[in-house]
Structure 1
Amino acid sequence: MAQQVQVENEALYGFTVPDEAVWALAPDVAYRRLAMVNVVFLGRPGGDWVLVDAGLPGTAGMIARSAAARFGADRPAAAIVLTHGHIDHVGALRTLAEKWNVPVYAHPLEHPYLNGQSAYPKPDPTVGGGAMSLLATLFPRGPLDVGTWLRPLPTDGTLPFLPGWRWIHTPGHSTGHVSLWREEDRLLVAGDAFITTAQESAYAVAVQEPELHGPPMYFTPDWEKAAESVRALAALEPETVVTGHGHGLRGPAMRQSLHTLATEFERVAVPAQGRYVGHPATAEEGSAYPGRS
């Protein structure tokens, strides 16, 4: 499966661009890999643009330099949109929000983790899969407070400054997780609803062999909702996807792999054991986990 996906992407990438460079998926869509996580730039150079997610702690300078090279040093983001608020997606958020003084949009169910109210449910190092799972207990889980800039996503599903895009609630990996979708060219920004690398394995994170996986197992507190979200995204029949971890992918082999993941999710994505397997997180397992929507 991975080899098929890689062949599909050879024409798109050419395999000559270093991993840390900005990869363009469309004239107004690009992403940058920051060690183990991606940030996405939406918008055409010369116009308004939006940053999706904010990487690891300490990466604000890299994100800002990539943005300046793409959009111009005098054109900061019009907004930051979060797929969710885990530390690898908000590590540089406060620095960038202060630097640009722009609104930060997130689903209301993520707001407790972004306004200083709540910590996320505890990670689960027992899910297996490799060193990243074992190290999960060391990952900060909040709360982060960016309440000064925090705004709810529009209730009509639109995205500020991004005509043609809409957000889709895709819970499971977090209660307020969202994915971004553009019908015109069937382009999907999936966040961590599903990913294109085996994030539990430090080796896979380093190698980045493209293959579809469910959300990172060690930080997913509701597997039933995660399965529903993957099936909803597969039903969109995306042409191009970029996820929170791993390379962007496109084409028939990607769609086939996504449908396989959706159909066989409980067998191939849900860990054999773990804190939240068959037992979604509750308020007692996070400092104020809002529960299931």
Structure 2
Amino acid sequence: MDHQEPMERSASTERMQPITSVNSGDGIPMGEDLYSFTIQIVNVIFYGRPGPGNEWVLIDAGMPKSGEKIIGEAVKRFGEDNPPKAIILTHAHFDHIGGLIDVLEKWDVPVYAHPLEIPYITGMRDYPDPDMTVEGGMIAKMSKLFPTEAIDIGSRAYELPEDGTVPHMPGWQWIHTPGHSEGHVSLFRESDGALIAGDAFVTVKQDAMYKVMTQELELSGPPVYLTPDWESAESSVKALAMLQPRIALTGHGVPVSGEYLQNHLGRLAEHFKELAVPDHGKYVDGQDKE
């Protein structure tokens, strides 16, 4: 690729957030070609077999100002002068695109997202403000500090293929899992039941400061303060549970697998309103929780 056009940053790439978990800087391999790397309170995913020169793909791009950490970990895993074949975004909230422009300035590669997310990475549309009034813990209350402004990567942004395939990830399919954002996607590989869920569900109670900082395991619905459509969020979790994944890597929290994943994802899908939907908040009030 040969892009000369400048990119436009915003608070979503520049405003560092003073929140860090005990797992920050840790990497967890899952199988031969998946690796979850934690930056502060969010995970980026590396797809590809480790080794110098091996092809790889980056899924999501971390917190604001995290580009150097992503690049450094990629070099350790795949060697110098070995850019990713592509970057895939599950969605474009600040904690999933915070390091994107830094990475693109190092490696000018295509970025794929659902068509409904493209406006947020091409400077066309900002996200709704976080809901600091929502039921939840301290992080929910401080979410007013979280940036929602779009960035602009211009013609580097590409729509995911209509046929559901994932570029440079053979055997994977993308699944539209809206709710947390309107164009949120999850990635699934049927051959081994591997799921990259983004924030469709997570494995830590993301609104609670103590649980986020300690990374206490708890399979939960999407982060409450940035989820505007709970009906769609429920449908998405039910669709993912129907796939019966055997491995799940999520945007927040540690990867999970096996019986724990099957049991707790099934329970979340069956009791989503009780377990995931907050009792009050600007995106909840007026909706029927029964």
Structure 2-normalised TM-score? 0.89
- Shift, 1:167, TM fit: 0.5
The counterpart of 1:26, out of the listed 11, 24, 31, is 31
The counterpart of 2:251, out of the listed 244, 247, 252, is 244
Secondary structure, counterpart of 2:173 in structure 1? strand
- Shift, 1:172, TM fit: 0.1
The counterpart of 1:209, out of the listed 216, 219, 238, is 216
Secondary structure, counterpart of 2:61 in structure 1? coil
The counterpart of 2:47, out of the listed 28, 39, 42, is 42
1:55-80 alpha-carbon deviations (Å, 9 max, x no partner): 00111111111100111112111110
1:97–1:104 CA contact under 8 A, matched in 2: no
Aligned equivalents of 1:205, 1:32: Cα separation in 2: 15
Compared CA separation, residues 219 and 49, structure 1 to 2 (3 A) = same
Structure having the larger proportion of residues in helix:
1
User: Bigger CA drift: 237-246 or 270-279?
Assistant: 270-279
4+ long deviations beyond 6 Å: none
Aligned equivalents of 1:188, 1:57: Cα separation in 2: 25
Compared CA separation, residues 164 and 279, structure 1 to 2 (3 A) = farther
- Shift, 1:21, TM fit: 2.4
Q: Which residue of 2 aligns with 1:148?
A: 155
Kindly indicate whether residue 125 of structure 2 is the aligned counterpart of residue 118 of structure 1.
yes
Aligned equivalents of 2:138, 2:218: Cα separation in 1: 19
1:264-286 alpha-carbon deviations (Å, 9 max, x no partner): 00111000001111569xxxxxx
**Counterpart amino acid of 2:97?**
V
* Structure 2, gaps ≥5 residues long: 1-21
The counterpart of 2:80, out of the listed 55, 73, 90, is 73
1:101-121 alpha-carbon deviations (Å, 9 max, x no partner): 000000000011111011101
Compared CA separation, residues 19 and 116, structure 1 to 2 (3 A) = closer
1:222-281 alpha-carbon deviations (Å, 9 max, x no partner): 00000000000000001010100000000112210000000000111000001111569x
Secondary structure, counterpart of 1:119 in structure 2? coil
Structure 1-normalised TM-score? 0.88
Secondary structure, counterpart of 2:105 in structure 1? helix
* Structure 1, gaps ≥5 residues long: 1-16, 281-293
**Counterpart amino acid of 1:265?**
F
The counterpart of 1:183, out of the listed 182, 187, 190, is 190
- Shift, 1:148, TM fit: 3.0
**Counterpart amino acid of 1:68?**
V
Kindly indicate whether residue 204 of structure 2 is the aligned counterpart of residue 197 of structure 1.
yes
Q: Which residue of 1 aligns with 2:15?
A: none
Q: Which residue of 2 aligns with 1:255?
A: 262
- Shift, 1:191, TM fit: 0.1
Q: State, as a whole percentage, how many aligned pairs show the same letter.
A: 50
Aligned equivalents of 1:74, 1:236: Cα separation in 2: 37
Kindly indicate whether residue 65 of structure 2 is the aligned counterpart of residue 58 of structure 1.
yes
Aligned equivalents of 2:147, 2:114: Cα separation in 1: 21
Kindly indicate whether residue 276 of structure 2 is the aligned counterpart of residue 276 of structure 1.
no
Give the number of aligned pairs.
264
Aligned equivalents of 1:141, 1:115: Cα separation in 2: 14
1:85-131 alpha-carbon deviations (Å, 9 max, x no partner): 00000000011112100000000000111110111011111112211
1:59–1:91 CA contact under 8 A, matched in 2: yes
Aligned equivalents of 1:165, 1:254: Cα separation in 2: 20
1:159–1:167 CA contact under 8 A, matched in 2: yes
Aligned equivalents of 2:240, 2:195: Cα separation in 1: 8
Kindly indicate whether residue 252 of structure 2 is the aligned counterpart of residue 232 of structure 1.
no
1:107–1:153 CA contact under 8 A, matched in 2: yes
Secondary structure, counterpart of 1:181 in structure 2? strand
